[in-house]
Structure 1
Amino acid sequence: MKKFKKITRKLHLWLGLASGLVVFVVALSGSILVFEKELDRFFRPGFHLVPEVSSEKVPVDILIGKAEEKHPGTSLHDLFVFDAPERSVRIRLADEHGEWTVVSADPYSGKILKDAPYKKRFFTIVMELHRFLLMGETGKTITGISCIIFVVLLSSGLILWWPLKRKHFKQRLNVKWDASFKRTNWDFHSVFGFYSSLILLLIALTGLVWSFDWYENIMYFLADGKPKPVHLVKNVSEEGPDNQDYFYESMLRETDSLFRYRGDIRLIVPPQKDRSILVLKENPEADIPNVRDMVYFDRYSGKRLQTTLYKDLSTGDKIRRLVYPIHIGSIYGYPTRILAFVVCLFASTSPITGFLIWRGRKKKKDMEKRPANKEIL
């Protein structure tokens, strides 16, 4: 057992040193993203809230038209219509290069409230740092490999935490705050690493879904026995009627009438011209988050082509819908989000405390190897 722990300690050390900087950046940025919606609304209320709530709303087509008029050369990519009456409509436009502009519109007055390039949003930059290290696909690969290493670090850390003797078990559960810095630092790294290990494992394992397609397909194979299905419905027509009043508004209203519960609605216009428009409505009455029913509309005629209910999705699709809520800790609301925030903050400190442990042991070994000074007579 001692020999196994010695090998595990070396593995834990060198993998930790190799991935420490990436783990620090990803964990710290991840802790910020846990409360992205609340923080963004707090610091930019004008982007999310309307000046005054009224009883009548203008059709979203008018809002889209004004947004496109203000940003020539762009077209609708998607829009969010929120159930909360005080929320503005969020419109995302795309130009010919695929660059996005986010526009906030007042659904009551029809005015454009705020707009900004998507890439310049603070939380967009934090997300790019979290997933790509601001390095594109290369950064995505680095974070993905570091995430796998982090899973190994958590597993090896549990092995190292486990005491060889039962009488030492109790002291491994507490931090000795009144001890020397070296001892307190070791306790902090080890004890809080033990308490947060399970939650961090869930966060890391769900995070791998965005890094590697093969990992996501394994998840689907385990759940459904087959690869991830492709959810797309092609258009039936190649052109629509000349006069289509309130084209997008009619889709939103039809979706709202199909699903009688109250909830946020998202409309997505795929860049591929042969694909239909997707409208999703989230059910806030469900026991778990991210429960959405879907309706596909022909992008030219506006006719409903297909309705897909959440209850009819495969087990793999339902698990995939839970990946994001588990990853950011929103699976059970604020209690689990606060927990996710705390453990992510701890994870950002673990490379630092781990480095200090290694540095302290290295200095001790160097001192032991140094020959004693001899007095010359």
Structure 2
Amino acid sequence: MKKGSFRRSLFKLHSWLGLITGIFLILLGLSGSVLVFRTELDKFFNQDLLHVSSAENAVPNDALQRCYDHITSRYPNLDGIAWVNPDAGPGEAYDFRMYFNDTRLMTYDLALISFNPYTRAILREGPSTQFTPSFIEWLFQFHFSFQLGMPGAALTAIFGITMLLSLLTGAVVYRKMLWKVLTFRVRVNRKNWRTISSDLHRIVGVWSLLLNAVIFFTGFWMNLFAFQAKTWQNELVPTKPNTRVSVSSDQIYHRALSAMPDLEPTYVYLPTQPGRKFEVRGYTKGQLKLWGSGNSVRMDQQNGEILQISRFAEKPLGARIEATFFPLHVGNFGGLGVKILYVFIGLTPGLLAITGFLLWWRRVKS
């Protein structure tokens, strides 16, 4: 194939990849930009609901176990429970994510419930398919599954790789423009909508190329579970009745923290099925957030025995690289500046989709 013919074929592939994924680029980009400040927005819009009275001065010693008992009583068939904000300060609600199974492939089975840790009162409750517990929680589930269950999770992974291919083919097609754009020698020609869309497409595409490639690839990688046959099969099998912990969740939790004194917990898994284990994950003091919460302590919930202590620094190279994927995808590894950058980067796929469509439309009409 001649060089010119190959370039034209590559350009057609780039165009069709962009057209096919266009609407999804917009939806995933916009939702991703919002979710960069997921925790902050949830607290802001629900500050009256989630700020609880701490007049009692201290959270009861058995608060975690009481929440666990309350959840398992209300939901007798759960795959598991996760305490997602163990770093909650005084006067803050406890948030728990519930994993359940309605034996349907087209719904992703997550739910959220929040407690007042002082009184055990339920502050909000509901599945992540609804706005009832939190719009941010609904948007989170939409972002990785389009609220279409396992098929949706597989679809977002597919679009992640097609969007990555679109970026790479665009980089090859416009390779001669890369250095010119990076050295500010390409400016937006405001002559008409055609020149504006063309120059914006090139400039935005080049400046966002690397970070978008990282975000698309990590998103694809984290949804690879949706291509495993066993995952789909498990979705159709009803969950067995809960097997509750035998040792107090509060005791196991504090024992785990004692086993790794420098652990700053970000996630606590509370098992409801015998095959699962109690686990505390988080950062270690002074650790770069880029390395993710790859430190953990696993416990046997029936006798309180420590099963495994895992430190990020001791993991194989492949596992350490993979641990960076989530922070790189969501932008939680830096301060406010990094998060703002991720918000703008999240808007670029939609802009590229719109300007790309306008360029395609110009060629069709001419």
**TM beyond 0.5:** yes
Match of 2:83 in 1: 79
Runs of 4+ in structure 1 off by over 6 angstroms are 164-171, 238-241
Q: How many residues align?
A: 337
RMSD: 3.3
Deviation per residue, 1:30-76 (Å, 9 max, x gap): 2222221111111112454323365322122233334455x363666
Deviation per residue, 1:245-269 (Å, 9 max, x gap): xx11101111222333373353213
Cα distance in 2 for partners of 1:134, 1:214 equals 14
Cα distance in 2 for partners of 1:240, 1:39 equals 33
- Deviation of residue 161 (structure 1)? 2.6
Match of 2:22 in 1: 20
Q: Please show how residues 100-111 of structure 1 align to structure 2 within 5 Å.
A: 100-111=110-121
**Residue identity in the other structure for 1:254:** R
- Deviation of residue 113 (structure 1)? 3.1
**Residue identity in the other structure for 2:95:** R
Cα distance in 2 for partners of 1:135, 1:317 equals 30
Given the superposition, is the C-alpha separation of residues 151 and 215 from structure 1 closer, same or farther in structure 2, using an over 3 Å criterion? farther
Match of 1:151 in 2: 164
Cα distance in 2 for partners of 1:167, 1:275 equals 55
Deviation per residue, 1:1-29 (Å, 9 max, x gap): 54443232222112222222222222222
Comparing 19-28 with 1-10, which one deviates more in the overlay?
1-10
**Residue identity in the other structure for 2:59:** K
Q: Which runs of 5+ in 1 are unaligned?
A: 217-237, 365-377
Match of 1:374 in 2: none
The structure with the larger Rg is 1
Decide whether the 8 Å contact of 2:96 with 2:113 is kept in 1. Answer: yes
- Deviation of residue 180 (structure 1)? 1.4
Given the superposition, is the C-alpha separation of residues 125 and 162 from structure 1 closer, same or farther in structure 2, using an over 3 Å criterion? same
Deviation per residue, 1:147-199 (Å, 9 max, x gap): 222112112222333338999996753223x3212111111111111111111
Q: Which runs of 5+ in 2 are unaligned?
A: 104-108, 229-242
Decide whether the 8 Å contact of 2:256 with 2:299 is kept in 1. Answer: no
SS in 2 for 1:330: coil
Cα distance in 1 for partners of 2:70, 2:170 equals 56
Match of 2:203 in 1: 191
SS in 1 for 2:154: helix
- Deviation of residue 285 (structure 1)? 2.7
Of residues 223, 236, 240, the one that matches 1:211 is 223
Given the superposition, is the C-alpha separation of residues 253 and 184 from structure 1 closer, same or farther in structure 2, using an over 3 Å criterion? same
Decide whether the 8 Å contact of 1:131 with 1:140 is kept in 2. Answer: yes
Cα distance in 1 for partners of 2:30, 2:203 equals 20
Cα distance in 2 for partners of 1:328, 1:169 equals 25
Cα distance in 1 for partners of 2:138, 2:36 equals 15
Decide whether the 8 Å contact of 2:115 with 2:123 is kept in 1. Answer: yes
Match of 1:259 in 2: 260
Decide whether the 8 Å contact of 2:174 with 2:202 is kept in 1. Answer: yes
Q: Please show how residues 287-306 of structure 1 align to structure 2 within 5 Å.
A: 287-289=288-290, 290-306=292-308
Cα distance in 1 for partners of 2:351, 2:18 equals 12
SS in 2 for 1:263: strand
SS in 2 for 1:7: helix
SS in 2 for 1:264: strand
Q: Say if 2:251 is the partner of 1:250.
A: yes
Given the superposition, is the C-alpha separation of residues 164 and 329 from structure 1 closer, same or farther in structure 2, using an over 3 Å criterion? closer
Deviation per residue, 1:226-261 (Å, 9 max, x gap): xxxxxxxxxxxx9987xx5xx111011112223333
Q: Say if 2:144 is the partner of 1:123.
A: no
Decide whether the 8 Å contact of 1:268 with 1:278 is kept in 2. Answer: yes
**Residue identity in the other structure for 1:90:** D
Of residues 335, 338, 341, the one that matches 2:340 is 338
Decide whether the 8 Å contact of 1:132 with 1:143 is kept in 2. Answer: yes
Q: Say if 2:147 is the partner of 1:134.
A: yes
Of residues 328, 350, 361, the one that matches 1:348 is 350
Decide whether the 8 Å contact of 1:163 with 1:169 is kept in 2. Answer: no
Q: Which structure exhibits the higher relative contact order, with contacts defined as CA atoms closer than 8 Å and separated by 6 or more residues?
A: 2
Decide whether the 8 Å contact of 2:245 with 2:271 is kept in 1. Answer: no
Cα distance in 2 for partners of 1:166, 1:266 equals 43
